[in-house]
Amino acid sequence: MLLVRLAETSNAVGATSSRKLKSELLASVIADLGRSEIEAAIGFLTGAARQGRVGVGWAMVDNVDVEPNPGDPELNVLDLDRAIDLIAATVGPGSEGHRAKIISGLLRRATAQEQHFIRQVLIGDLRQGALSGVVTDAVAKAAGLKIAPVRRAAMLSGDLGHAAVIALSDGIEGLEAVTLIAGRPILPMLASTAADVGDALEQTGLASVEWKLDGARIQVHRTATDIRIYTRNLNDVTDRLPAVVAIVADLPCSSTVLDGEVLGFLADKTPLAFQDTMSELGRDNDRLSVESDSTRDSNTAFSMQPFFFDVMELDGTSLIDEPLSVRRPILEELVGAHAIPAIRTDEPRAASNQLETALANHHEGVMVKAIDGTYEAGRRGKSWRKVKPVHTLDLVVLAAEWGHGRRQGWLSNLHLGARDPDSEDFVMVGKTFKGLTDELLRWQTEAILERKTGESSTGHTVYARHELVVEVALDGAQVSSRYPGGVALRFARIRGYRPDRDPQTVDTLAAVHALLPPSHSH
């Protein structure tokens, strides 16, 4: 397929706010793809090339200035895919110049419309308002299938492109054959929020009320020959957690898949702040590394300990379709003292006591999980509810403004965006510079500049790829015409960056509106 078809479709998708029309436009082009093109094209259409980040930033692409091909389009989908393969393989001294030559050669063969599309794909800034949810729907339409089996296959394989190949080539039979396999990471189940434990229990009924730790989410896979540990974003961090590997190696099973958190503890059993846990976990790892804002002495003894709250596979049997009432006893028998503390109740008083106990032990709050709920991989299901005493939201950094005074030279004031499920885009809901330490400001400035996609006409504001997730504490929300979402955060302050979290799973615009006073809530 000619690349211009993808470019034209992307433009058309970006020009409409209708999710239905976006899906139909994408389905039309996906249906015409050859089998060998599907995986690459799905990556391009979701704004995330299948090769991942390949070291191409805004500055490199902006500096390549070549005239577009004035004739008929000649590039096809695999031409772009092969070029990105070459860029990814170009490393070492002089690699930046070699990458620029590859990009220059590619852009010289591209029409003006294709050039724009290629530049967006290379820097991961395809602003068409069609993230994986819309593309998943489009794949189902193109294959003439319902969306549920496509979504399930994508979640269980951890790869929408792979699921699309199966859907378009092998149909429903192929999709139903995709199952959870130990050793192949899956997208984790996520939680919705609740105002308090009483509200949560009204939604779930009889529930497992579990401590909510402020650690790093991990997914552990043990097979007969190997143990692998993945983050929430499915990054492999096995080598960073030898203590966890040793614990899992001693479990009485031949294979298993576990969901849990790893948390750092000081010698006196006090849990480390999330930033410190992530700093230790993410050393020398660009995706995970975040400067700690703690004053903890780096020589202070601490340990990294795992706590598990779910089991999705055991000894070759998938458990994700079993209710939590079945999975939880299996988990407790398997991991023993490494299971996160939990009680089973539908009584608000008992759940409140569990919350108070978790807080007394320096943890965030509790998770309230419906006892009859299955494990909904990749979904923010209503059967899991998180309850914390302070309002917090996970939001995406859209841009940042250069600071003044003592913050001169640092990117400081952050533009924050919530996810709009209807448009599959991020909507700005506020700004804040509060809660940022000097260490975090330095890290933030470097991280945003690495992801730069452009700047304002005055140069005061730097726009970034929508990759950085921050956890924001706030007092609530208020109606506002200042921002596109019609709502603004009240007294927002940054609790920390969450490199363990995927931008596509941040809180929605509806979650922000839910914090409005009752008289203004939608």
Q: Which of 450, 240, 208 is nearest to 344 (CA)?
A: 208
Sole residue written with tokens 């690699």: 95
Rounded distance between C-alpha atoms, residue 33 and residue 10, angstroms: 15
Selection from 198, 195, 147 nearest residue 172 by Cα: 147
Say if residue 399 is exposed, middle or buried (CB neighbours under 10 Å; 0-12, 13-18, 19+): buried
Catalytic residue, chosen from 22, 141, 212, 369, is 212
Angle of the 197-204 helix axis to the 348-360 helix axis, nearest 10: 130
Taking CA 372 as the corner, what is the angle to CA 367 and CA 376, rounded to the nearest 5 degrees?
A: 70
- The residue to which tokens 């040793």 are assigned: 246
Please give the C-alpha separations between residue 283 and each of 74, 240, 241, 268, 290, in angstroms, as whole numbers. Answer: 44, 8, 12, 24, 8
For residue 413, the SS3 value is strand
- The answer to whether 177 touches 363, Cβ cutoff 8 Å, is no
Those residues with Cβ within 8 angstroms of residue 467's Cβ, 6 or more apart along the chain or in another chain: 124, 396, 451, 503
Look at the block and give the residue holding tokens 């211009």: 4
The pair of structure tokens assigned to 254 is 């031949």
Contacts of 212 (CB under 8 A, 6+ apart): 358, 363, 364, 365, 366, 367, 386, 387, 388
State the pairing for strand pair 342-345/365-370. unpaired
The sign of the dihedral angle between the CA atoms of 304, 307, 313, 315 is positive
Q: Which run of H or of E encompasses 496?
A: strand 493-497
- Map tokens 């590859």 to a residue: 102
How far apart (Å, rounded) are the C-alpha atoms in residues 235 and 222?
A: 16
Question: What's the CA gap between 444 and 100, in Å, rounded?
Answer: 26
**Tokens standing for 171?**
């149909």
Residue 188 DSSP class: P
Residue 323 backbone zone (phi > 0: left; psi -120 to 50: alpha; other: beta): beta
Per-residue tokens: 63: 């500096």
Closest among 236, 217, 221, 384 to 311, alpha carbons compared: 221
Q: What is the DSSP letter of 42?
A: H
Residue whose structure tokens are 């540990």: 229
Identify whether 212 is a catalytic site residue. Answer: yes
Beta strands 207-212 and 216-222 are unpaired
How far apart are alpha carbons 251 and 260 in whole angstroms?
15
Is residue 255 a contact partner of residue 314, using CB atoms and an 8 Å limit?
yes
Q: Which residues are catalytic?
A: 212
